[in-house]
Amino acid sequence: MDMNREELQEDRYARLRLIPWWDQKKLKSATVMVVGAGAIGNEILKNLALLGVGKILIVDMDHIENSNLSRAVLYREADEARPKAVVAAERINEINPEIAAIPLQGSIISQVGKGFFRHADLVLGGLDNREARLSINQKCWKTNTPWIDGAIEVFQGFARVFVPPQSACYECTMSQADYKLLNFRKSCSLLSRKEMMEGKVPTTPTTASVIAGVQVQEAVKLLHPDADLQPLTGKGFVFNGLSHDSYVVTYPRNEECYSHETWEPIVEVHRRSESTTLREMVEIIRERLNLKEAVLETDMEIAIEAHCICGDKESLFRPLMEVSLEDAICSECGEEREILMAHQFTGQEAYADMSLKEIGFPPGEIYQGRSGKEIVYMEMTSDIEKILDNKY
Ligand SMILES: [Zn+2]
Ligand SMILES: [Zn+2]
């Protein structure tokens, strides 16, 4: 880097550096995952880019629609039908060319391995459904990654901070009504479960910018752990844009909560999911544990095959989450087929010579290798390095 460029850099952040505890190096060296590039996500991303957060991973599965344009500062009319994650990454790179914005198009529940959470310093959520929040929460706890949730509806919203392993988590804040809704959705047929996740909430860009502003400010606090900035850990800022009687709530930690599982130690496996077979992965686990009968487990069901009473069979090989009712209907006889699924693998399966990717596991996944009570957590680290560092 030559002198001029360095001076220019000094310029960009000069006003921020006037803040006594501000440490631009901490922001530059941070990796932050943003889940959801909608109304809140756009505002989060804009703020992170302005502040010079060095590496920003943007996860979103959707494409830009016209109705996004009233609430999303990063999108233009000409972007219609393009992936949100990709366009958002391009635009925040324009806002600040010194950062690395990395798009990851896919569902946070089934297509982003837990290793990505472990490699992030923080996760920021701009989501509109409980399922995705719960999934982020569990992955953040397992990998010991703080996360900051944001939610908005019309002129109201909240921002809350969850820091594993000690604080209250998202699931601790769930009410009986939340559980009921979640269980109701889970018990529904495949298609309606998918449909219900697409519930639309009325939102405004003004509330989105307030809540995203608070979320990113909390992120800045967490990235300066030595500065005693009193982050909202285990608490929520409740914004009421009608009456302006906004306040802070403290969430009690529920010791019975199902989400408080921490996975450690996590072992890095320097392999890629697309070039490692299931059989090889089970072998790696057995070597590591030095136990011949160890198996590979995941916390996510993989749909292997659909069987029909008429005799028809079809390979699925994808997370069960991604199987719709349509997929389950037999094209031969119209009956609903039985879905064969698995979450435990011995390496002896008929498909054991398929790659982990082909079987339907997400990139960067952390697998559990188990033999009785003995357990080891194995992360597909090269998948993550390829996406985050553009390696290989
Ligand atoms: Zn909890
Ligand atoms: Zn059939």
- Which ligand sits nearest to residue 174's alpha carbon? 1
- Strands 55-60 and 235-240, by their bridges, are unpaired
pLDDT, average across residues 61-79 = 96
Q: Which domain holds residue 300?
A: 266-389
- Which ligand sits nearest to residue 313's alpha carbon? 2
- Which ligand sits nearest to residue 329's alpha carbon? 2
Report whether pLDDT(81) > 80. yes
Alpha-carbon span 147 to 165, nearest angstrom: 12
Quick check: 27 and 223 in contact, CB under 8 A?
Answer: yes
Q: Which of 250, 279, 295 is the last residue of a domain?
A: 250
How far away, in angstroms, is 306 Cα from ligand 2 center? 10
How far away, in angstroms, is 366 Cα from ligand 1 center? 21
Q: Is residue 259 one of the residues assigned to a domain? A: no
**161-193: pLDDT as tens digits:** 999 999 999 999 998 888 887 776 665 545 445
Q: How high does pLDDT run on average in the chain? A: 92
Peptide bond into 83 cis (omega under 30): no
Alpha-carbon span 355 to 310, nearest angstrom: 30
- Which ligand sits nearest to residue 312's alpha carbon? 2
- Which ligand sits nearest to residue 172's alpha carbon? 1
Q: Is residue 379 one of the residues assigned to a domain? A: yes
pLDDT, average across residues 105-122 = 97
Residues linked to residue 33 through DSSP beta bridges, in sequence order: 57, 123
pLDDT, average across residues 92-101 = 97
Q: Is residue 258 one of the residues assigned to a domain? A: no
Alpha-carbon span 370 to 131, nearest angstrom: 27
- Which ligand sits nearest to residue 310's alpha carbon? 2
Report whether pLDDT(155) > 50. yes
**224-252: pLDDT as tens digits:** 999 999 999 999 999 999 999 999 999 99
Nearest CA-CA partner of 370 in 344, 349, 392, 391: 344
Strand, coil or helix: what is 127?
coil
Q: 45 or 187, which is more confident?
A: 45
How far away, in angstroms, is 259 Cα from ligand 1 center? 5
Q: Find the radius of gyration of the CA atoms of the chain.
A: 22
Give the model's pLDDT for residue 381. Answer: 98
How far away, in angstroms, is 207 Cα from ligand 1 center? 27
Q: Is residue 343 one of the residues assigned to a domain? A: yes
How far away, in angstroms, is 336 Cα from ligand 2 center? 8
* DSSP code string of 296-329: EEEEEEEEEEEE-TTS-EEEEEEEGGG--HHHHB
Alpha-carbon span 203 to 70, nearest angstrom: 10
Nearest CA-CA partner of 368 in 288, 260, 271: 288
Give the model's pLDDT for residue 128. Answer: 87
How far away, in angstroms, is 309 Cα from ligand 2 center? 6
Cα of 295 vs its chain's centroid, Å: 26
**Given pLDDT bands bounded at 50, 70 and 90, which one contains residue 201?**
confident
Q: Which of 250, 285, 313 is the last residue of a domain?
A: 250
Q: Do 173 and 74 have their domain in common?
A: yes
- Which ligand sits nearest to residue 166's alpha carbon? 1
- How many structural domains is the chain composed of? 2
pLDDT, average across residues 301-309 = 95
Q: Do 155 and 279 have their domain in common?
A: no
Strand, coil or helix: what is 147?
strand
Token pair of 213, please?
């502003």
Which helix or strand (DSSP H or E) is residue 195 part of?
A: helix 190-196
Altogether, the residues listed in the chain come to a count of 392
Quick check: 317 and 386 in contact, CB under 8 A?
Answer: no
Q: Which residues surround ligand 2, an ion (CB under 5 A)?
A: 308, 310, 312, 330, 332-333, 335
Per-position b or e across 26-41, b if 16+ CB within 10 A of its CB: bbbebbbbbbbbbbbb
Give the model's pLDDT for residue 191. Answer: 46
pLDDT, average across residues 55-59 = 98
Q: Which of 195, 226, 250 is the last residue of a domain?
A: 250
Q: Do 232 and 308 have their domain in common?
A: no
The gap between the terminal CA atoms of the chain, to the nearest Å, is 25
67, amino acid identity = S
Q: Is residue 37 one of the residues assigned to a domain? A: yes
Token pair of 182, please?
């979640």
Quick check: 283 and 353 in contact, CB under 8 A?
Answer: no
Q: Do 67 and 141 have their domain in common?
A: yes
Nearest CA-CA partner of 91 in 38, 30, 42: 42
Cα of 39 vs its chain's centroid, Å: 17
Give the model's pLDDT for residue 195. Answer: 53
Q: Do 222 and 311 have their domain in common?
A: no
Give the model's pLDDT for residue 1. Answer: 47
Q: Is residue 245 one of the residues assigned to a domain? A: yes
**Given pLDDT bands bounded at 50, 70 and 90, which one contains residue 291?**
confident
- Strands 366-371 and 122-126, by their bridges, are unpaired
Q: Do 63 and 90 have their domain in common?
A: yes
Q: Do 104 and 54 have their domain in common?
A: yes
Q: Is residue 257 one of the residues assigned to a domain? A: no
- Which ligand sits nearest to residue 261's alpha carbon? 1
Q: Do 27 and 166 have their domain in common?
A: yes
Q: Is residue 64 one of the residues assigned to a domain? A: yes
How far away, in angstroms, is 173 Cα from ligand 1 center? 7
Cα of 102 vs its chain's centroid, Å: 14
How far away, in angstroms, is 325 Cα from ligand 1 center? 32
Alpha-carbon span 24 to 282, nearest angstrom: 43
Q: Do 245 and 348 have their domain in common?
A: no
- Which ligand sits nearest to residue 328's alpha carbon? 2
Q: Which CATH number do you get for residue 226?
A: 3.40.50.720
Quick check: 30 and 4 in contact, CB under 8 A?
Answer: no
Q: Do 200 and 334 have their domain in common?
A: no
Q: Do 283 and 174 have their domain in common?
A: no
Greatest alpha-carbon span in the chain: 74
Count of other CB atoms within 10 angstroms of residue 55: 20
Q: Do 373 and 245 have their domain in common?
A: no
